Amino acid sequence: MTQDRVSEELFERAKRLIPGGVNSPVRAFKAVGGSPVFIREAKGAKLVGEDGQEYVDYVGSWGPMILGHGHPEVQKAVAEQLEKGVSYGAPTRAEVEFADVLVKAVPSMDMVRLVSSGTEATMGALRLARGFTGRTLIAKCEGAYHGGADYLLVKGGSGLATLGEPDSAGVPAQIAATTTVIPYNDVKGAERLFLDHGHELAAVIVEPVAGNMGCVPPDPAWLSALSRLTRATGALLIFDEVMTGFRVAFGGAQERYGIKPDLTCFGKIVGGGLPLAAYGGRRDVMEQVAPAGPVYQAGTLSGNPLAVAAGRKTLEILSAPGTYDRLEAISAQVEAIAQRAIAEAGKKAVVQRVGAMLTIFFTEGPVRNWADAARADKAAFARFHAALLSEGVYWPPSQFEAAFISLAHDDEALEKTEKAMIRAMAAA
């Protein structure tokens, strides 16, 4: 039985039991066609499908597997905690020590609250911003995804900066209207937004490096403009570093670009592959979170000891001198491979990378915002993705998702990637 046949049968069974056959929409491969590959196990930079087919993995569980799958030290840390119990619903020494690691790693954070997912982190940070400022309106960028909260599932209207319109059934228009949308990297648009609504805004939430429209780096003036505008009006600047945190630098994108937000949301890597996330920032703001203050947020599994053990060991390994130099070198090799494949095939495509995040856009570059990204040839990307998969390379199944590179991508993985990339680009 081929992998396609195994996956197809599992997918058909799943669709009778799970909406769409998956527990998160992008996994269904709707953007690229075909059936998703069902994974049996993983190790290092490799995934193994249900029939034993191996793939070089550039999804990395959507970011957290920066050390590669099944890192022995992380597994040992989790196993040791497993012997002590999996959940207490009570405070632990480990979560205090882990919070200390996070605060020391990220200079903008004086205090931090642990949660279980990136969505929880952004929800908590935005509720806190509204409670702290006494304002309702928030701003996000067109094409950005900050989790599944109703007021974040919005898209822009026809204007430069417009009130949000629901981007999902089940989202009341009144709730979506509490969010305004501006283009990413548009300084003048942000200035106009603040001129019109600055004193109504509780916060601007932004991915410092966009990852949910593909990898889009910030223009040099973009993040500093948001910092300046929020300070001038009393709004809070929230960095969604769920993807970029501990990936583009140990201290996240804020370290890389030298910008200090008021609040930061983390996920992915801080859990070492287990469900864990966090939000934190200025002491005067964070002290408004219950039970210290009036802004309520709670979670039974927040600070789960298994997840804390995995996250703490992951960050400990990442903090070793030279780690990010090595990760940058590996990532630069993947970028060079993609560039060579594009040149050899003569395709109209551009590679964009920041640290260990990378996207190949099937359009002329540079891609600076959602409007640019949306012009990409999605059919060409789908052909490229299918060809890569047939060659044993597991790439994100959407033109608008970033690929993630790990420290486990060794010479063997890169050689296989290069051969597959050249053939796949020719087929795109």
Residue 202 to residue 110: CA distance in whole angstroms: 20
- Residue 350: CA atoms inside 13 Å, Cβ hemisphere, count? 15
Query: Is there a contact between 367 and 350 (Cβ–Cβ < 8 Å)?
Result: yes
Residue 70 to residue 68: CA distance in whole angstroms: 7
Would you call 89 helix, strand, or coil by DSSP?
coil
Would you call 213 helix, strand, or coil by DSSP?
coil
> How is 293-329 classified by DSSP, letter by letter?
SSB----TTTT-HHHHHHHHHHHHHHTSTTHHHHHHH
Query: Is there a contact between 26 and 57 (Cβ–Cβ < 8 Å)?
Result: no
What does the block give as tokens for 391? Answer: 């060659």
**149 phi and psi, to 5 degrees?**
-65, 145
Query: Is there a contact between 129 and 238 (Cβ–Cβ < 8 Å)?
Result: yes
Q: Buried b vs exposed e over 361-388: b needs ≥16 C-beta within 10 Å?
A: bbbeeebbbbebbeebbbebbbbbbbbb
**Catalytic positions, please?**
145, 240, 268
Based on the number of CB atoms within 10 Å of its own CB, is 234 exposed (0-12), middle (13-18) or buried (19 or more)?
Answer: middle
Query: Is there a contact between 87 and 303 (Cβ–Cβ < 8 Å)?
Result: no
> Using only C-alpha atoms, what is the Rg of the chain?
21
Using CA atoms of 31, 32, 37, 41 in order, give the dihedral in degrees to the nearest 10. -70
**Residue from 335, 416, 342 nearest 47 by CA:** 416
- Residue 374: CA atoms inside 13 Å, Cβ hemisphere, count? 8
What does the block give as tokens for 218? Answer: 């910030």
Distances (CA, A) of 197 to 178, 194, 236: 12, 5, 14
What residue has token string 């119990």? 85
Query: Is there a contact between 232 and 198 (Cβ–Cβ < 8 Å)?
Result: yes
